[in-house]
Structure 1
Amino acid sequence: MNKKTNRVRKWIMTGLTLSLLVPTLAACNTSKNEEADSVRTLRIGTMYGSKQDESWFRQQFTDMFEFTHSNIEIEVVPAIDYSEMQFGDQSKEQEQPDPLEKVKAIMTGTNPVDVMIINDLSLLGTLVNENLLKQLDPMLKEDEIDVNEFVPTVIEGIKDQGNGFLYGLTPMFSPSALYYNKKLFTNKGVEFPTDGMSWDQVFNLAKRLKSGSGKDAVFGFSFNQWGAGDNYWDVQNFAAPLQLRMYDEKAETMTVNTPQWEAVWKKATDLYKDHVTPHQEDMQYDQPTDGKGFYNPYQGQLFMNGRVAMTIGDYGLITQIQQLNDNSEKMKMEKLDWDVVTMPFHVGKEGIGGNIYLNQLAGINAKAANSDDAWEFVKFMNGKEWAKLKARSTYEMSARKEYIKPRDGMAYNVEAFTKMKPAPQLNSSLKDQALLREKPNLNMVSELGTRAYSEVIQGKKSVKEALAEWETKGNDLLQKIKTNPKGPIEGIFDDVYGGDGVVRPLKEALMEASGEG
């Protein structure tokens, strides 16, 4: 009787369980069907790309979002499609596309993108001023997202382009700082550099650290971890926060023969002439001739070899230093005892440093058809979970303060990378870029500047004389470009441009001009 009763009870319980389970399964099926019916497309615009390299973009930006948002499908829409240019008619001269017009086309067309990924701060400012982006501040406030959790200078740099408001966010940024060799400072009895130093203060320190000659020479400073002190482009980056122009906004008149340009060039060339920065011959490294020596992977990097006291380096330089120190015994090299401080500033431009890039800005199209999912994506891309994963990067830093810390237990002044706002680069404004596309011969103006700077380095002209000559030749060139913006131009500098107007490699021409060729 008991067995029969138990059997009956089991049947009853099984029946009840099944009766409860059937509606649950039906509900699950209904939920799945509803989810399938509600799959939405989120269109994300990029400045450049193609179907062939779309997988990289998806891995970097969207795969994790799609994995956690199964009802949203991502469609990537490049403003400029590489394949269209690659497989175009090569027999005809192809017109270079205007990035701004291409971006505006995918943001304002019949099927506009919902999110725009922007890799240029100046582009962000232009899109804001043309009312093409949604302000994010109200959404941040509604979702109680505290922008104080982000690096202040990153937020301020973005706000500077948004008239005091946020129209984009970035999860990562690429900063630079001033690296220094502690041992070289200690050996000379010179105090270490500190955060918040001006360029003049750094240069004065550098002069005190210069010592020795030949293979034993130690240099006080280099503008980058690779090159010698005669690199004109380093000087351009050095001057970037000052926003010095080569010519006016219409490209009709030169603007280089000024006290501001003279001061910048004189500071850089004086360092070179006084051998405070290394010369090209100092970059050479004697390789062993007996075949028994060890290969030096840091050949030519004088800071890594303990011969430059201070250098400007990006965040990725830490990886190289770590590798050197971990393998110093194998390479028979001395470990580097180092630290970093903030990028130096120009007086009057305090808080602004060059070589800081915000490459992953995400903004919401003002005409987005799917603005809710667009905000969900921007929020996810800049959220804590994503930041925790991206913080493993060896070449970029998280924009969230919580995940900024010295790598692998190393001890260095990591906050030095977070204290300076980005400086606009030379000719980075969309107006200047449009002008260069309209008149590509304007690139010759920069080449004239390179030649003028080279003559100062070689001692052939003073800074003032070189700038005056650049202005004179530049004004002549601008007038010729006005009537001939793209074709060959004769008579500007025949040793760089042949008499037929055919451009020869600039490096080759400069070597010949200096007697090295």
Structure 2
Amino acid sequence: MTERKSKVRKWLLTTLALTLLIPLLAACNTNKGDNSDNRRTLRIGTMYGSKQDEYWFRQQTTDLFEFSHSNIDIEIVPAIDYNEMQFENQGKGPQKQPDPLEKVKAIMTGANPVDVMILDMNVLRQLVDENLLKNLEPLLKEDEIDTSEFVPTVIEGIKDQGNGQLYALTPSFMPSALYYNKKLFAEKGVTPPRDNMSWDDVFNLARQMKSGSGKDSVYGFTFNAWGSGENYYDVQTFAAPLELKMFDDKAETMTVNNPNWKSVWETVTKLYKDHVMPSQQDMQAIYEQPQKEGEPYNPFQGRLFLNGKVAMTIGNYGLISEIEQMNANADKLKMQKLEWEVVTSPFHSAKPGVGGEIFLNQLAGINAKAANPDDAWEFVKFMNGKEWAKFKSRSTYEMPSRIEFVKPREGLNFNIAAFTKMKPAPMQRSLKDEALYREKPNLNLVFELGSRYFMEVTQGKKSVDEALKEWETKGNDLLQKIKTNPTGNIEGVFDDVYGGGKPGH
């Protein structure tokens, strides 16, 4: 019954929103005649999807366009259909995962190609290099659309994947920034973070902010709002702008025993050893603290930054909503409200201006072989227009790409520009990497091997030099085994390594 009420409520809200938008849509309708005899179909490709989730995609992406362009019918064409993946290989055991790029190219170059392609960032460059997308710059110029009205990091990030040209646009993006606890810095008398800080600057601040011990510890920094404790994925995220590789392009030779990898490992492991960042042991002590009798359940338990246990953390735009929710219920939860601010994500000195994780969502490009290029451009233009940006600016987890709608939510006052200044870091895995991992899924064992050696360093069992050398040696042996056995079980991978003795697959 509750589920039914929820569905009814969502339907009523959607209906109300559409009702309120009718005058707006009528005003921005760009149809060249709404003659019903001139009906056209616009085929929109998505990288993933199915008939079951098509409604959600339409609601989020195409319904308003179709409503305001009454003589255009939208057809959704997923490159990879979840249903086919789920049911076509029943009983045949593990199957090789499809290549997203090849699937996308298939629906763009087949007998009935899609007109518009909604893309992930990691396939954009390859499609541009193979001349499968239409350059949007002449269309933007013709319609006098000024790209300076968009957030620079969005435009520059897309251009970086298009050899300096725009082959796609996106109405929104998911940025990250450096959050800090204003109260902790004031109490310590330490100058708080500022925009355009390097990682060295941030880590130096973090050391100044470390205080206390045991359950009374306050840590200087975490790579995420949870803390995690010696999470090797955080190390990979930290190193992403440097584009360090574990092995060569053929996955035959390790490439980790070098000064660049050494610098990253030494920097991060020292922060854990000095308890500037919480170690696994620190995290365990926090989670093992018993709940006091009569104390209400706290959904933010263990969120170190939200609980005032960390001075600075990296967080995405959606973290603001969690902070708002916690502060609104602080009295009920018997917590202190968080006094916070944000500055730009830190950068590596070798890569100035390149921040952390910034996801460019819903990249829309026009197929170079589109049968309906005019309507395709109308859709891309509408999707990235001011009216749509105003509607989407209400999101609590992503930001609009148009600058004029990048504003703090009502009742809040913070440095929102911090989310817009840094260029996105390169994808941690390139398309070539993804193809290798699909062909040889056992390559994931190389990452796991590195993670275990990293733990041996943080726990003082090995030096960074020793760990990287052993990772290289054992990794090279593992790569040769993977070459002949890319998918099957490989025994003894983790023998004599942290947590060893477990099966290799």
Supply the distance in 2 between the matched residues of 1:281 and 1:469 (Cα, whole angstroms).
25
Q: Is the 8 A contact 2:175 2:317 kept in 1?
A: yes
Question: Where does residue 15 of structure 1 map in the other structure?
Answer: none
Q: Normalization by structure 1: what TM-score?
A: 0.88
Q: Is the 8 A contact 1:248 1:254 kept in 2?
A: yes
- Residue identity matched to 1:318: I
Supply the distance in 2 between the matched residues of 1:327 and 1:492 (Cα, whole angstroms).
48
Q: Normalization by structure 2: what TM-score?
A: 0.90
- Residue identity matched to 1:413: N
Question: Where does residue 397 of structure 1 map in the other structure?
Answer: 399
SS of the residue corresponding to residue 118 of structure 2 reads strand
The residue correspondences of 1:400-411 to structure 2 (distance < 5 A) are: 400-411=402-413
Q: Is the 8 A contact 2:115 2:371 kept in 1?
A: yes
- 1:238-287 Cα offsets, whole Å, 9 max, x none, are 00000000001111110000100010011111000000011234332434
Supply the distance in 2 between the matched residues of 1:371 and 1:242 (Cα, whole angstroms).
39
Q: Is the 8 A contact 1:46 1:117 kept in 2?
A: yes
The residue correspondences of 1:25-64 to structure 2 (distance < 5 A) are: 35-64=35-64
Q: 2:423 aligned with 1:421, yes or no?
A: yes
The alignment of Structure 1 onto Structure 2 pairs a total of residues equal to 468
Q: Is the 8 A contact 1:490 1:497 kept in 2?
A: no
Supply the distance in 1 between the matched residues of 2:237 and 2:80 (Cα, whole angstroms).
27
Q: Is the 8 A contact 1:354 1:424 kept in 2?
A: no
Q: 2:288 aligned with 1:288, yes or no?
A: no
Q: Is the 8 A contact 1:241 1:424 kept in 2?
A: yes
- Residue identity matched to 1:343: S
- Residue identity matched to 2:402: R
Supply the distance in 1 between the matched residues of 2:419 and 2:350 (Cα, whole angstroms).
21
Question: What displacement does 1:346 show?
Answer: 0.2
Supply the distance in 1 between the matched residues of 2:204 and 2:330 (Cα, whole angstroms).
31
Question: Where does residue 250 of structure 2 map in the other structure?
Answer: 250
Identity of aligned residues (%): 70
Indicate how the Cα distance of structure 1 residues 446 and 364 shifts in structure 2: closer, same or farther if over 3 A, else same. same
Supply the distance in 2 between the matched residues of 1:113 and 1:383 (Cα, whole angstroms).
22
Given candidates 324, 331, 334, the residue that maps to 1:332 is 334
Question: Where does residue 21 of structure 1 map in the other structure?
Answer: none
Supply the distance in 2 between the matched residues of 1:459 and 1:263 (Cα, whole angstroms).
17
Indicate how the Cα distance of structure 1 residues 498 and 464 shifts in structure 2: closer, same or farther if over 3 A, else same. closer
Indicate how the Cα distance of structure 1 residues 191 and 289 shifts in structure 2: closer, same or farther if over 3 A, else same. closer
Question: What displacement does 1:87 show?
Answer: 1.1
Q: Is the 8 A contact 1:223 1:229 kept in 2?
A: no
Q: Is the 8 A contact 2:34 2:69 kept in 1?
A: no
SS of the residue corresponding to residue 127 of structure 1 reads helix
Question: Where does residue 238 of structure 1 map in the other structure?
Answer: 238
Question: Where does residue 102 of structure 2 map in the other structure?
Answer: 101
Supply the distance in 2 between the matched residues of 1:350 and 1:456 (Cα, whole angstroms).
29
- Residue identity matched to 2:212: G
Stretch of structure 1 that moved more, 245-254 or 484-493: 484-493
Question: What displacement does 1:498 show?
Answer: 7.1
Supply the distance in 1 between the matched residues of 2:449 and 2:96 (Cα, whole angstroms).
25
- 1:79-112 Cα offsets, whole Å, 9 max, x none, are 0000001112322132210101000000000000
Question: Where does residue 126 of structure 2 map in the other structure?
Answer: 126
Supply the distance in 2 between the matched residues of 1:136 and 1:348 (Cα, whole angstroms).
32
Question: Where does residue 467 of structure 2 map in the other structure?
Answer: 466
Question: What displacement does 1:502 show?
Answer: 6.3
- Residue identity matched to 2:493: I
Supply the distance in 1 between the matched residues of 2:489 and 2:209 (Cα, whole angstroms).
48
Stretch of structure 1 that moved more, 320-329 or 393-402: 320-329
Question: Where does residue 182 of structure 1 map in the other structure?
Answer: 182
Which portions of structure 1, spanning 4 or more consecutive aligned residues, are displaced by more than 4 angstroms?
494-499
Question: Where does residue 92 of structure 2 map in the other structure?
Answer: 92
- Residue identity matched to 1:242: L
SS of the residue corresponding to residue 179 of structure 1 reads strand
Supply the distance in 1 between the matched residues of 2:306 and 2:281 (Cα, whole angstroms).
17
Q: Is the 8 A contact 1:221 1:277 kept in 2?
A: yes
Supply the distance in 2 between the matched residues of 1:288 and 1:488 (Cα, whole angstroms).
43
- Residue identity matched to 2:419: F
Supply the distance in 2 between the matched residues of 1:321 and 1:37 (Cα, whole angstroms).
53
Supply the distance in 2 between the matched residues of 1:188 and 1:343 (Cα, whole angstroms).
22
Indicate how the Cα distance of structure 1 residues 185 and 439 shifts in structure 2: closer, same or farther if over 3 A, else same. same
Supply the distance in 2 between the matched residues of 1:148 and 1:431 (Cα, whole angstroms).
33
Q: Is the 8 A contact 2:34 2:71 kept in 1?
A: no
Question: What displacement does 1:458 show?
Answer: 1.3
SS of the residue corresponding to residue 424 of structure 1 reads coil
Q: Is the 8 A contact 2:494 2:504 kept in 1?
A: no
Question: Where does residue 4 of structure 1 map in the other structure?
Answer: none
SS of the residue corresponding to residue 388 of structure 2 reads helix
Supply the distance in 2 between the matched residues of 1:339 and 1:34 (Cα, whole angstroms).
49
Question: Where does residue 451 of structure 1 map in the other structure?
Answer: 452
Supply the distance in 2 between the matched residues of 1:350 and 1:266 (Cα, whole angstroms).
21
Question: What displacement does 1:344 show?
Answer: 0.2
Supply the distance in 2 between the matched residues of 1:386 and 1:77 (Cα, whole angstroms).
23
Question: Where does residue 8 of structure 1 map in the other structure?
Answer: none
Segments of 5+ residues of structure 1 without an aligned counterpart are 1-32, 504-517
- 1:379-415 Cα offsets, whole Å, 9 max, x none, are 0000000000100000000000000011113111000
Given candidates 348, 351, 356, the residue that maps to 1:349 is 351
Question: Where does residue 478 of structure 1 map in the other structure?
Answer: 479
Supply the distance in 2 between the matched residues of 1:342 and 1:289 (Cα, whole angstroms).
38
SS of the residue corresponding to residue 418 of structure 2 reads helix
Q: 2:395 aligned with 1:386, yes or no?
A: no
SS of the residue corresponding to residue 407 of structure 1 reads coil
- Residue identity matched to 1:288: Q
Given candidates 366, 369, 380, the residue that maps to 1:367 is 369
Question: What displacement does 1:36 show?
Answer: 2.3
Question: Where does residue 512 of structure 1 map in the other structure?
Answer: none
Stretch of structure 1 that moved more, 293-302 or 153-162: 293-302
Supply the distance in 2 between the matched residues of 1:296 and 1:75 (Cα, whole angstroms).
45
Q: Is the 8 A contact 2:273 2:279 kept in 1?
A: no
SS of the residue corresponding to residue 106 of structure 1 reads helix
Question: Where does residue 192 of structure 2 map in the other structure?
Answer: 192
Q: 2:491 aligned with 1:490, yes or no?
A: yes
Question: What displacement does 1:299 show?
Answer: 0.6
SS of the residue corresponding to residue 41 of structure 2 reads strand
- 1:94-143 Cα offsets, whole Å, 9 max, x none, are 22101010000000000000000012x22101100010000000000000
Q: Is the 8 A contact 1:177 1:343 kept in 2?
A: yes
Which is higher, the Rg of structure 1 or of structure 2?
A: 1
Supply the distance in 2 between the matched residues of 1:489 and 1:238 (Cα, whole angstroms).
30
Q: Is the 8 A contact 2:222 2:314 kept in 1?
A: yes
